[in-house]
Amino acid sequence: MAGPEPVSTIAGRAALLGMTQAQLEGFMASLGEPRYRARQVFQWLFRHRAADFQAMTNLPAALRTLLEERAVIDVAQLILSQEDPDDGTRKFLFRLLADGETVETVLMRYRHGFSLCVSTQVGCRMGCRFCASTMGGKVRDLTAAEIVQQVVSVQRALDPAGERIGSIVVMGMGEPLENYDNLVRFLRIVNDPEGLGIGLRHITVSTVGLVPAIRRLAEEGLPVTLAVSLHAPNDYIRSQIMPINVRYPLAQLMDACRDYVAKTGRRISFEYIMMDGVNDHPELARELAVLVGDLLCHINLIPYNPVPDRPYKPSPPRRMQVFRDILRRAGLQVTIRRTLGRKIEAACGQLRRRALAEKQEGRPVPAKG
C-alpha cells in the first residue's frame, strides 16, 4: 500500500491530489496535526471538490494558512474545452502547472451516464503507427496528482447540474502501464469511498501489451477491467503497426491475458481499431477468433478516427459488419463501438498537437468553457 511512497511537489509545495489517505495522514503529522485532519482534508478535496484551502471551513484558520504555504490543490489549469454538437462528447485540454505541458481528457455521454477518458503521460513512446499521441514521442510521465486532477476538474464542471462521472477509462495519451506506480496510486485515490468513490469495476485500464506490467497488475488486488489494444490477429501485421509487438509478441501477450483473467476473474476487453485494407479482411477475423477463443473476453471493433499525417482510413461499415458477424458465429462477444467526438478531434493527442502548432506559430490557445 501507499504511505512511504514519495509524493509530487510544485515549487516545493506538496500536491495533495496525489496523496492517498494514508499519505495525507503522514503529511498532516509532519505539520503537527492529528490523523483525523487528513480525513477532513481528503473529503474537502474529493467529496466537496474544494479548490481553495479557505473553503475548508471546519479546519482552524491557522491550519488553512499553513496549508496554503506548504501544499497545493490544483496542479493543472483548464485552458480549452470543446463539445461535439452531435453527441455531447466534451474534450478538455489542461496545462500542467509544473512545466506548462498539455494533456487531454475526454468526457463521453452514454445512456448509462458519463465516462471519462484520462491521460497518464505527456505524449507517448510506444510508436503505434496510427496514433496521434506518439507523434513527437514521450515527454514525461504524469504524476498521480496530475492524473487525478483530470477527474476532479471535470467533476467540478458537472457538479452544478448534479451530474456525476460514473466510470473511468484510462485510455488517453500515453501507455498507462509504463507509468505504473502513479497509475496504481491514482486508482486507489479515485476508488476511496471517503472521496470520489468510483468503483474499480467501473474503471478500465488500457495497454498496448506490456507483458510484465500486466502480470504485476494481476497481483495488485484491483479488479479493474484490462483493455488490450490488439488491432491485429498475427505478429506480422501487429509488428508493422505496433512496434511493441516485436518486444512482446502475441504468444507472450495472450499468456499474460490468461494469467490476468485467472488471477482477477475479470473479462479482458480486446480493442481492435479497424483500418481499411490493413487489418479488416474476413480471413483476419477468423484468425482473431482462434487467437482469443479460449479467453473470457469481449472484442470492441472501433472505426478508425483519421489522424492528419497518418495514411490510414477507417474500414467501410459493411466490412466491419462482416468482420463482426464472423466473430459472433465463432461464439465471441463483440460490438462495433459507436464513434464519438468526430467534430472535436477526439482521437488521442489531436487537440494537443493543434495547440502545440498554434503555440509555435505564436497564436495563443483560446480558453473556452
Asked if 223 contacts 165 with a C-beta cutoff of 8 angstroms, the reply is: no
Q: Residue 347's domain spans which residues? A: 76-360
Instruction: Confirm whether 223 is domain-assigned.
Output: yes
Residue 23's domain is classified under what CATH number? Answer: 1.10.150.530
Does 199 share its domain with 95? yes
> Which residues, at least 6 apart from 145, have a Cβ–Cβ distance to it below 8 Å?
7, 8, 15, 16, 17, 18, 19, 75
**In a domain? residue 135:** yes
In a domain, 28, yes or no: yes
251 and 335 fall within a common domain: yes
Complete DSSP assignment for 5-67? S---EETTEEEGGG--HHHHHHHHHHTT--THHHHHHHHHHHTS---SGGG-TTS-HHHHHHH
Burial class (CB in 10 A: 0-12, 13-18, 19+), 341: buried
| Statement to judge: residues 121 and 84 lie in one domain | yes
Percent of the chain with pLDDT over 90: 83
User: Is the pLDDT confidence value at 348 over 80?
Assistant: no
Is residue 368 in a domain? no
Domain end, chosen from 20, 43, 72, is at 72
If asked whether residues 167 and 299 sit together in one domain, one would say: yes
Mean pLDDT, residues 303-323: 94
Per-residue pLDDT tens for 176-202? 999 999 999 999 999 999 999 999 999
- Name the grid cell of 43: 473529503
| 172 & 260 share domain | yes
Write out the catalytic residue numbers.
104, 348
Summarize the confidence of residues 23-31 as an average pLDDT: 97
Same domain, 61 and 171: no
pLDDT for 85 equals 87
Q: Check whether residue 290 and residue 229 sit in a common domain.
A: yes
Report the pLDDT value the prediction gives residue 38, as an integer from 0 to 100.
Answer: 98
Is 151 domain-assigned? yes
Q: What is the pLDDT of residue 353?
A: 57
Q: What is the pLDDT of residues 81-90, one digit of tens each?
A: 999 888 889 9
Q: Domain for residue 369, yes or no?
A: no
* 34 lies in the same domain as 81: no
Residue pLDDT, tens place only, 214-259: 999 999 999 999 999 999 999 999 999 999 999 999 999 999 999 9
Shared domain check, 82 and 58: no
- What single string gives the DSSP state of each residue in 77-115? EEEEEEE-TTT--EEEEEEETTT--EEEEEEEEETTEEE
Establish if 194 belongs to a structural domain.
yes
Cell of residue 25, nine digits: 495522514
Backbone angles phi, psi at 72, to 5 degrees: -130, 155
- For residue 334, the model assigns a pLDDT of 98
Are residues 48 and 194 located together in one domain of the fold? no
366, part of any domain: no
Residue 96 banded pLDDT, cuts 50, 70, 90:
very high
Cell of 282: 474476413
Whether residues 116 and 235 fall in one domain: yes
pLDDT for the residue numbered 87: 84
| CATH label of the domain that carries residue 239 | 3.20.20.70
- Residues 206, 315, single domain; the answer is yes
What is the rounded average pLDDT of the residues 96-125?
95
What stretches of the chain show up as alpha helix (H) in DSSP?
Answer: 21-30, 36-46, 61-70, 144-158, 180-191, 211-218, 235-241, 244-247, 250-264, 282-292, 317-329, 350-360
HSE-up (13 A, CA, CB side) for residue 16: 28
- Give me the number of domains the chain comprises: 2
